Amino acid sequence: MITDTQLRQVMPHVGADKALLYLPHLNATMAADGIDTMLRTAGFIAQLAHESGEFRFMEEIWGPTDAQRRYEPPSDLAKRLGNTQPGDGKRFKGRGPIQITGRFNYKKYGDLLGVDLVDNPVLAAQPEWAFATAGLFWKSNGLNELADREEFVAITKRINGGTNGLADRQKYYELAKKVLGENFIAADFSTPRAVPEAAKARAVPHPDEPLQRGFEAIHEDIAEHGKPH
């Protein structure tokens, strides 16, 4: 787990109010998803710090920009994100500290958690579910095991399909290891994340591909098809 003091040392720009709001959900998620060692915690916190701008952004700002218009069907990007209906791009924009994006991912992680994120997508930005989806993504992609071996670049690639922002991520990682290494407190499993019984029975899949998040998926699409227009 991570304390308020440790969190604010790793993320100096996180506000006191947000730290107070998010910390219980962050620690509950880490306990539920086996993020229970110093190395696992440091890797997880570092990636979330980069992805969310130190918890300043739990929801993608919508323009729509030219790039965001590619979320909308019938584009190839929309197809990969599972967006099939008009308005799905905005409806299922990036939310949460790891920015799940697209109808496919909202359904996948909502089903695993026993919450309807398809009909209620705004819930994905609420602390309870925002951190829960991030924890499930981390666990289901084998990132705990990579963290044990300190394979931080491999973790980054599984999160975004490449090494975007690697230097910034590594900066947080080294800082998190230093801060947590000085006084690491093991996760408290006495208060696990509340998940309905139906969701507990479901096996967490281990996908072969990284999470198709909007920002990285757009860059992949541009690389394949050229500059958006």
Residue 203: inside a domain: no
Integer Cα distance of 72 and 62 in angstroms: 13
78 has pLDDT over 90 = yes
Query: To which residue do tokens 């095991």 refer?
Result: 145
Q: What is the pLDDT of residues 3-27, one digit of tens each?
A: 999 999 999 999 899 999 999 999 9
CB 144 within 8 A of CB 34: yes
Residue 199: inside a domain: no
User: Which range of residues forms the domain containing residue 44?
Assistant: 4-192+209-224
- What pLDDT was estimated at residue 216? 53
CB 81 within 8 A of CB 103: yes
Q: List the catalytic residues.
A: 51
Phi, psi of 151 (to 5 degrees): -90, 70
- What pLDDT was estimated at residue 224? 57
Handedness of CA 1, 205, 207, 95 (dihedral sign): negative
Residue 219: inside a domain: yes
Query: Can you read off the two tokens belonging to residue 111?
Result: 């089903």
Average pLDDT across the chain, whole number:
85
Q: What is the pLDDT of residues 86-124, one digit of tens each?
A: 999 999 999 999 989 999 999 999 999 999 999 999 999
Residue 113: inside a domain: yes
Q: Count other C-beta atoms under 10 Å from residue 97's C-beta.
A: 29
Residue 198: inside a domain: no
Query: Can you read off the two tokens belonging to residue 198?
Result: 């139906």
User: What pTM was estimated for this model as a whole?
Assistant: 0.82
Query: Can you read off the two tokens belonging to residue 43?
Result: 């890797």
Integer Cα distance of 189 and 71 in angstroms: 39
Residue 197: inside a domain: no
Number of folded domains that form the chain? 1
Residue 116: inside a domain: yes
- What pLDDT was estimated at residue 82? 95
Q: What is the CATH number of the domain that holds 141?
A: 1.10.530.10
